[in-house]
Amino acid sequence: MHIVQVGMEYDVLKENNKIANSNYRLLKENGIKTIEFMGSIGSGKTTLIIKLAERMRKKGLEVCAIAGDVTGDDDQRRMRESGLEAVNCNTGHECHLDANLVRKSLKDIDLDRCDAILIENVGNLVCPADFPLGADYRVVVISTTEGDDMVRKHHDIFLHSDVAILNKVDIADAVGVDPSVIVEDYRRLTGGLKTMYMCSARAEEGIDEIMSVLRL
Amino acid sequence: MHIVQVGMEYDVLKENNKIANSNYRLLKENGIKTIEFMGSIGSGKTTLIIKLAERMRKKGLEVCAIAGDVTGDDDQRRMRESGLEAVNCNTGHECHLDANLVRKSLKDIDLDRCDAILIENVGNLVCPADFPLGADYRVVVISTTEGDDMVRKHHDIFLHSDVAILNKVDIADAVGVDPSVIVEDYRRLTGGLKTMYMCSARAEEGIDEIMSVLRL
């Protein structure tokens, strides 16, 4: 929602950053590792989170998720059906989570017994970039089904994230996309410094490497 | 971008609507039919626009496109390679086109000799809903690759659009999605009044029906 309510000087982004820093401190004080997943609709964030959480639980970690969406509880239900405890976080109209919404969701999580929190942002490859939530890592997930031009079109989110993942590589041929183009665009955007990790969350390919990259 | 610059009472949406109305009048005065395509990244908007424009040109219509994106000119280049004249419209940071950006793009189009304009909004299923541009029809394009929960998660854009299209139905099985779930959600959301049209733009299935629905 973009209506501008005025009357006082107010910098939404600065205020968000303040709350994000406070979230980060709260989570660290409780020894909780937090990872945020950003990415477009259908990029496979929910499936990836479910697969990572399964592996984390097998390691004996207590994991909880925050399922961000504009409306509905589809992702929360999918997570719960997989055995992952999840809090639903609807923005109502907004196209991204913000640190304050996450702060409220944290009240519904038993921070004492939680080891890790996986946050799924609203499906959107543009707006979440500006709003850090207080996580240890920001991960962007894209899918081969989105075409090969994602990195060229959306610099911001790739530059604002710590880790980039290309999902659904198993159906790249079916959708006529060459993953190497995307990976090379990302390498170039990050000055040759960073690698995009490839996986198929549904086919369980590449998940172990992502566990290792995220130090889970 | 969501920084709020204040100092005067200002309703961004109202101002946008004013310019959208003015765009609509300008286009009507020039006898131009305009259709806006909204939808997520990778939903297939560009391919659908290219296929519709090919058919329109065969009917003897002069067509031009406005290719909206945050950065880059990938869509404009694809359109031009197909023989479709296209103006690039980068938002720079914003997650949606607005009526003023479209107004500026119209200056680069010869309105005297143009019969129809196809506008591709930025890939985003949330933000464009609030910003009409002045088109005759607003069309939302979703893809089976996005999952079966799009309608349940994003009421606004479906309620703000005139026509809804489900693309990539040819690979629904490959991505494990049942199109009938999406179609039924849309029917329910619109009080049983509206039908979602199915197509595969890449496989050229269902395009003629869309031509007819959009009265092209």
pLDDT tens for A174-193 read 888 999 999 999 999 999 99
| pLDDT tens sequence across B148-186 | 999 999 999 999 999 999 999 999 998 889 999 999 999
pLDDT class for B10, splitting at 50, 70, 90? low
Does residue A7 have a pLDDT over 50? no
Q: What is the pLDDT of residue B170?
A: 94
How far off is chain B from A23, nearest CA to CA, in Å? 21
Does residue A205 have a pLDDT over 70? yes
Q: Helix or strand or coil: residue B138?
A: strand
Q: Which residues of chain A lie closer than 8 angstroms to B128, CB-CB?
A: none
Task: Tell me phi and psi for residue A104, to 5 degrees.
Answer: -65, -40
Answer whether A199's CB lies under 8 Å from A169's CB: yes
Query: Would you call A74 and B154 a contact, using CB atoms and an 8 Å cutoff?
Result: no
Q: Which residues of chain B lie closer than 8 angstroms to A12, CB-CB?
A: 2-4
Name the percent of chain B lying above pLDDT 70: 95
CA distance A132 to A55: 26
| pLDDT tens sequence across A115-152 | 999 999 999 998 999 999 999 999 999 999 999 999 99
Helical axes A99-106 vs A12-29, angle rounded to 10°: 30
pLDDT class for B93, splitting at 50, 70, 90? confident
Mean pLDDT of A100-123: 97
How far off is chain A from B14, nearest CA to CA, in Å? 9
Q: What is the pLDDT of residue B174?
A: 86
User: Between B3, B71, B171, which is nearest A13 by CB?
Assistant: B3
Whole-angstrom CA distances from B160 to B36, B71, B149 are 12, 25, 18
Residue-averaged pLDDT of chain B:
93
Indicate if ipTM > 0.85: no
Cα of first residue to Cα of last residue in chain B, in angstroms, is 35
Q: What is the pLDDT of residue A10?
A: 57
CA distance A159 to A140: 10
Point out the least confidently predicted range of A44-48, A64-68, B172-176: B172-176
In terms of CA atoms, which chain A residue is nearest residue B124? A124
In terms of CA atoms, which chain B residue is nearest residue A129? B1
Q: Which residues of chain B lie closer than 8 angstroms to A71, CB-CB?
A: 152-155
How far off is chain B from A72, nearest CA to CA, in Å? 5
Task: Tell me phi and psi for residue A181, to 5 degrees.
Answer: -65, -45
Amino acid at A80: R
Q: Helix or strand or coil: residue A149?
A: coil
CA distance A47 to A202: 7
CA distance A53 to B17: 45
| pLDDT tens sequence across B16-50 | 999 999 999 999 999 999 999 999 989 999 999 99
Please indicate if any CB of chain B lies within 8 Å of the CB of A12: yes
Length of chain B: 216
Query: Would you call A154 and B70 a contact, using CB atoms and an 8 Å cutoff?
Result: yes
Q: Which residues of chain A lie closer than 8 angstroms to B10, CB-CB?
A: 4, 6
Q: Which residues of chain B lie closer than 8 angstroms to A154, CB-CB?
A: 41, 70-71
Whole-angstrom CA distances from A10 to A2, A143, B15, B94 are 14, 36, 21, 19
In terms of CA atoms, which chain A residue is nearest residue B71? A153
Dig out the tokens for A191 from the structure. 């000055």
Name the percent of chain B lying above pLDDT 90: 90
CA distance A138 to A165: 11
CA distance B64 to B83: 10
Q: What is the pLDDT of residue A3?
A: 47
Does residue A9 have a pLDDT over 50? no
Question: Which of B:107-136 have CB within 8 Å of A?
Answer: 122-127, 130-131
In sequence order, what are the residues at sequence separation of 6 or more whose Cβ sits closer than 8 angstroms to the Cβ of residue A154? Answer: A125, A126, B41, B70, B71
Count the Cβ atoms, other than its own, within 10 Å of residue B144: 27
Q: What is the pLDDT of residue B107?
A: 97
Please indicate if any CB of chain A lies within 8 Å of the CB of B147: yes
Which DSSP string corresponds to A69-113? ESS--HHHHHHHHTT-EEEEEE-TT-SS--HHHHHHHHTTS-TTT
* pTM of the full structure: 0.89
Dig out the tokens for B66 from the structure. 């406005």
